Amino acid sequence: MKKFLIVGLGNIGDKYANTRHNIGFKILDALAEKEDLKFETQKLGDLTSFRFKGRTFILLKPSTYMNLSGKAVKYWLTKEKVPLENVLIITDDLNLPFGSLRLKTKGSDGGHNGLRDIQNTLQTTKYNRFRFGISDQFSKGRQVDYVLGEWTSEETEKLSERLDKSIELIKSFGTAGVSNTMNTFNGK
């Protein structure tokens, strides 16, 4: 039985629930709803899991806050004995147009504090990351307000379809492999 750890990055608490920075949580919530799953609060995060095409997908929303995500990722990777190549970190990306999807097998943290902490904790940049574009439509010096801001009504309108596409990407990652998934979804 192949296991996959799918980690959606975000910040806990109602004030962050509908912010751009919490797209990782939002994608996992959409997937859990589609699969009729309930998250349970466990050590360092909220977890649920489901089986699909002979694979087990463990969904994790760390409760450590974004900047300390590495602790939760390392704990659950070890506890569930998931190989590093079967982990997928879902995060927001300012450098991609809104709703654009990009899967990568390695790379820098790109200035993202959650990815930086995961990289430092795991001592590697070679882990799969799924970046969801939130665009960079903010004025100089307003990046934090933008990232921690809520979706516009126009973005909200388009979000449902993008969430569905994100769910397809996650399932493809576990069943078709990372290379095929990158070819199918990157830039879509």
Query: Which H or E element spans position 57?
Result: strand 55-62
- Furthest-apart CA pair in the chain: how many Å? 49
| Residues 65, 114: Cα–Cα separation, whole Å | 8
| Residues 102, 187: Cα–Cα separation, whole Å | 6
| Residues 124, 111: Cα–Cα separation, whole Å | 16
For residues 34 and 166, the answer to whether their CB atoms sit within 8 Å is no
For residues 5 and 128, the answer to whether their CB atoms sit within 8 Å is no
Quote the pTM value. Answer: 0.95
Q: Which residues are catalytic?
A: 21
Q: Do the strands 40-42 and 45-52 form a parallel or antiparallel pair, or are they unpaired?
A: antiparallel
Paired with 45 in beta bridges are 42, 62
pLDDT of residue 174: 97
| Residues 148, 22: Cα–Cα separation, whole Å | 8
Distances, alpha carbon 47 to alpha carbons 3, 59, 62, 179, in Å: 14, 6, 9, 27
Helix axes 113-122, 69-79, angle to 10 degrees: 40
Tokens representing 14? 């109602």
Dihedral pair phi/psi, residue 80, rounded to 5°: -90, 0
The parts of the chain modelled with pLDDT lower than 70 are none
| Residues 40, 54: Cα–Cα separation, whole Å | 23
Write down the residue that tokens 């900047």 correspond to. 67
Three-state secondary structure call for residue 2: strand
Tokens representing 78? 């070890």
pLDDT of residue 145: 82
pLDDT of residue 143: 81
